[in-house]
Structure 1
Amino acid sequence: MEHVPRQFFLPLSVRPRSIFPIRGDLLIHLFEKYRTLVFILAGAAALFVFLLFKPSPPQQGTPMAIEAKESAIEAPQPVDTVTTDDKIFVDIKGQVERPGLYEMSPHERVDGVVEMAGGFTKDADRNAINLALKVSDEMMVYVPKKGEVETPLPPGSLSGTNGGEGELVNINQATSEEIQKLPGIGPSKAAAFIQYREENGPYRSVEDIKNISGIGEKTFERLKEMITVQ
């Protein structure tokens, strides 16, 4: 016969209490025993979760750094592009310190190319050159020596001879008084001759005078044998 513990035959009221509490009592027992440790661990866990999910404060230094970086990068400056159409070339010869070919702007005058060439020499006939005359592309400026006899120059060039009695009037260089020596030309038309060459550059041909207001075909036929362009 199988042995049965004696306590199973005793009434419930006299049975000995188990040394192990039931599950609920065990949890309460453990909580009471380790209460302090539980609170410490719970507080630490709550603090960890708070720090983990806490939104980061905006960084004040970053916008300033970006702004400083952006300000350091300057906006690209427009580049002044100069096309070949904005430049002309003038050849100056004769009594200047540095004769040669010079690149200039179309609105400049003979005075500018003389200055670029180093100025007149001591032997230059300064009165023979109209420094106020506007330059043009492919123009040649010749500065004569004092007492130099005029030599023919190619069209489009500027010499220092203004012409005299019995000679053709060089309308690219003649003064108002010299132009008025032409038949039918008074002070107002002489001024128009000079204004045209100052605004448009040297006359390319004698036919250019027909572009002057007041110079018609009849006047041109009368003057064409008396004028020249040099």
Structure 2
Amino acid sequence: MREYLKKYPYLFAVPLITVLILFLFVQNEPEEAEPMVFTTQSSVQETEQSSSEWYVDVKGAVNKAGMYRINPGMRLMDVIDLAGGFTAEADQNQMNFSKLLADQEIIYVPRIGEEVSVSHEAPNKETAAKTVEKININTADVDELQQLSGIGEKRAADIVKYREENGSFQAIEDLTKVTGIGEKTLENLKDSITI
């Protein structure tokens, strides 16, 4: 055996090197990488802008009227500060300083003696019902559709299924093509839906 190892010494080294390589490979086994998500630069920018940048238009009795970039969660007083504050003739009593702002909102600061048709009182049930935003039956998901009077989870799922199979509704009346929705149901929904 010794003569064999003397004649072929590398045969002794091969198993040792193999064991060493296997040991190092097991020790340095890479962790599972998270899947990569590829998006276009423009879609990333649009998402970032739509989620973090809003614009409001400030008019009336402020020192610097104009359009201002705001962030979600800002209040009326924040944008008044951006606009340089109120002028001397501003009627601050008509303003709700704590009002949360929305994207594309117009903020008008009235002058003293000027009437603005905005009520700061809590809306009653009738007013609230009139100002409820209509639900778009072409874009609403199952949860949104269930907010409609007389539409439960199954009927909402049927509406979404109909849309997926037949495309968008072309008229509100097309809603009657969905199984389980008749003329009476449509009549009750007409003031609450849009396309």
TM-score normalised by the chain length of structure 2: 0.39
TM-score (norm 1): 0.35
**CA radius of gyration, larger in:** 1
